[in-house]
Structure 1
């Protein structure tokens, strides 16, 4: 953020665009602080509040989907996601906590845990979100300890990659159609996922190719714009208030047409636009800080470390495809802030116990 602020002194952008970017870049920090200070003020019982809030979000989501399904007769996957929401990383975190409830000091009955798992699982399924599926798989692998570089974990990861490849191949050759409904529409999204955000050339005149690969289009335009403005913007970015010109007006999920885009789906590219290579390196370093957790003899702290390591791995992907912490609707920063504070509380408790 400081790099973007520095770069802004050499640019001339509208005040509204400048302060909008201040809000964008402050959001991850505020989310982490909210989660951290909530846990700090409530203490260890905060974990129950985190779980209950996740269940509440799931119930609201299910009720919303049911309302639009019954009252308005909406059946299209795209419309259901438009009204019900596209994903919820927070619910997935709570789901993983509940799946491994014996490893955490949750204090809930088994029947309650199973009920909560059923509610959140159903809600998560209704999002039909590819990123949430990947998120739960990464976090479960992390909780099993398979993200550590051991012989056993490498063999399990290898098997996971093979199974994933075979599953994707089966979906690909089932030839799901672009304008299909229900699960077939979801399978089409899975089919295009591996190349959707990684293409380096797009035919802008082919509206199907353009829409399916819009994330890649944003990346291509950003790299051209930033590198075309010289070494200073490559290193320090264009600053707060900067936008990319996509060359046409596009309808957004916010219900408006926009041509000059202030934030992209790809967080790395957004930071590259605002803060240059230095900002991208700091973003990568922040993910590394979350990943690099010290070893602990405490089982519960070790499991929190597993969850943080899984979060770091997921953030690599989340930042690439859906803005990571910077998305306006993102709530996982609150959970990770809570998790960092919860770990601190447990470490303090452990030290007090050792000193007695």
Structure 2
């Protein structure tokens, strides 16, 4: 392994831990070095869309600071940090391949090795931390960490490549990697991870029948309707006095439908829904300009004192429903740009029905579904620790497609 590949492996592996500031700084340094080396800045549509959201939010923060003098520098910086990570990581992945600094298959293997290393380490902890396998379940998810959420990305890559008769390592090794990744996902006992895994396995069929875009549009329509019309849905809270996975799963829909709740028990059981409602209510309190452009970085929701007895959480800067986060900070325009980003990231050509390019397109669509889903329930790409590996690999495959298009001629693919 070359020194640059080893350094990249260390960065990708360490990014899975809570060192977001270090990861961001190192990413910026690598980008700077590559830009100086290339003496060229590449234009990436997906990055421009995300940067536009940041510009809108920053501009509204500046306007609010002039008119109300209430802008907190800490809250502005916190939001800016949450939002700036995504376009930087995406651009890093793009630049690595577009500049041909590293070879595509090499960096793809490095991504898989980085994720797999942590996945195996977490799985190996089970015999040492559990006195009985009966602990496996919601309690193991809360008290232990036997899974690795980025195992989903490994499934995306290995599954789609092998489905199209390509191997990342070799067929036998790829199968072992796939099994380990799926075990890691199952050990998460995460409803979101299970749903995403199901979507990943379904994507090739959707793509084959040109249904992937239709399903994506349908989900987007549901998400937007849920934000503005969730109160119209008659959703009842399931009885979840226990924390079993089955009980939580039965209450999944109730947890995400945005609506006002009055009962404290309902609020506790459906915190994500009520949290999103408070964010929507804060957004709707804005003036006409803020409805279009948002309330900017630093906009927060103060939780009622009685919810947490004045402890743990007094303000909410970002929401489990990432679309509410975007809506509050950058308004309807920002929400439109974010949805456009997801649609742009999912763009593929149906003219390539076999070979490596088809595998890459399937990876691209799968990652788009991942971002769409996680943005609905687990913050998405805007969080203290942005999904570094997912965004970097998305940038990698976008650049790979453009490089291949340049090699064979831009008219070959309708992309």
Smaller-chain TM-score bracket: 0.7 to 0.9
In structure 2, the residue matched to 1:115 is 176
In structure 2, the residue matched to 1:227 is 284
Q: Which moved more, 1:31-40 or 1:195-204?
A: 31-40
1:118 shift after superposition:
2.0
Q: Is the alpha carbon distance of 1:78 and 1:31 closer, same or farther for their aligned partners in structure 2, counting shifts above 3 Å?
A: farther
Q: Is the alpha carbon distance of 1:64 and 1:333 closer, same or farther for their aligned partners in structure 2, counting shifts above 3 Å?
A: farther
1:312 to 360, 368, 371: 368
The answer to whether structure 1 residue 268 and structure 2 residue 323 are counterparts is yes
CA distance in 1: counterparts of 2:197 and 2:284, whole angstroms: 37
CA distance in 1: counterparts of 2:171 and 2:156, whole angstroms: 15
Structure 1 gap ranges (5+): 158-174
1:80 to 133, 140, 162: 140
1:140-289 pair list within 5 angstroms:
140-146=201-207, 148-149=209-210, 178-180=241-243, 185-206=244-265, 209-248=266-305, 257-289=312-344
CA distance in 1: counterparts of 2:165 and 2:369, whole angstroms: 21
**Paired residues of 2:342 and 2:371 also in contact (CA < 8 A):** yes
RMSD between aligned alpha carbons? 3.0
CA distance in 2: counterparts of 1:13 and 1:263, whole angstroms: 16
1:135 to 196, 202, 208: 196
Q: Is the alpha carbon distance of 1:343 and 1:56 closer, same or farther for their aligned partners in structure 2, counting shifts above 3 Å?
A: farther
1:38 shift after superposition:
3.9
CA distance in 1: counterparts of 2:172 and 2:335, whole angstroms: 45
3-state SS of paired residue (1:323): coil
1:205 shift after superposition:
2.5
CA distance in 2: counterparts of 1:86 and 1:214, whole angstroms: 25
Structure 2 gap ranges (5+): 1-53, 65-69, 219-237
In structure 2, the residue matched to 1:300 is 356
Q: Deviations over 1:48-69 (max 9, x none)?
A: 1122222112112213444432
CA distance in 2: counterparts of 1:349 and 1:105, whole angstroms: 20
Given the two structures, how large is their TM-score scaled by the length of structure 2? 0.69
CA distance in 2: counterparts of 1:108 and 1:127, whole angstroms: 26
1:14 shift after superposition:
1.3
In structure 2, the residue matched to 1:8 is 61
Q: Is the alpha carbon distance of 1:89 and 1:286 closer, same or farther for their aligned partners in structure 2, counting shifts above 3 Å?
A: farther
2:122 to 48, 61, 80: 61
Q: Aligned pairs, how many?
A: 321
CA distance in 2: counterparts of 1:148 and 1:216, whole angstroms: 34
**Paired residues of 2:93 and 2:391 also in contact (CA < 8 A):** yes
In structure 2, the residue matched to 1:166 is none
The answer to whether structure 1 residue 90 and structure 2 residue 146 are counterparts is no
Q: Which moved more, 1:214-223 or 1:33-42?
A: 33-42
In structure 1, the residue matched to 2:102 is 42
Q: Is the alpha carbon distance of 1:242 and 1:176 closer, same or farther for their aligned partners in structure 2, counting shifts above 3 Å?
A: closer
CA distance in 2: counterparts of 1:176 and 1:219, whole angstroms: 21
1:30 to 81, 84, 88: 88
The structure with higher relative contact order (CA 8 Å, sep 6+) is 1
Q: Is the alpha carbon distance of 1:250 and 1:27 closer, same or farther for their aligned partners in structure 2, counting shifts above 3 Å?
A: farther
CA distance in 2: counterparts of 1:96 and 1:21, whole angstroms: 30
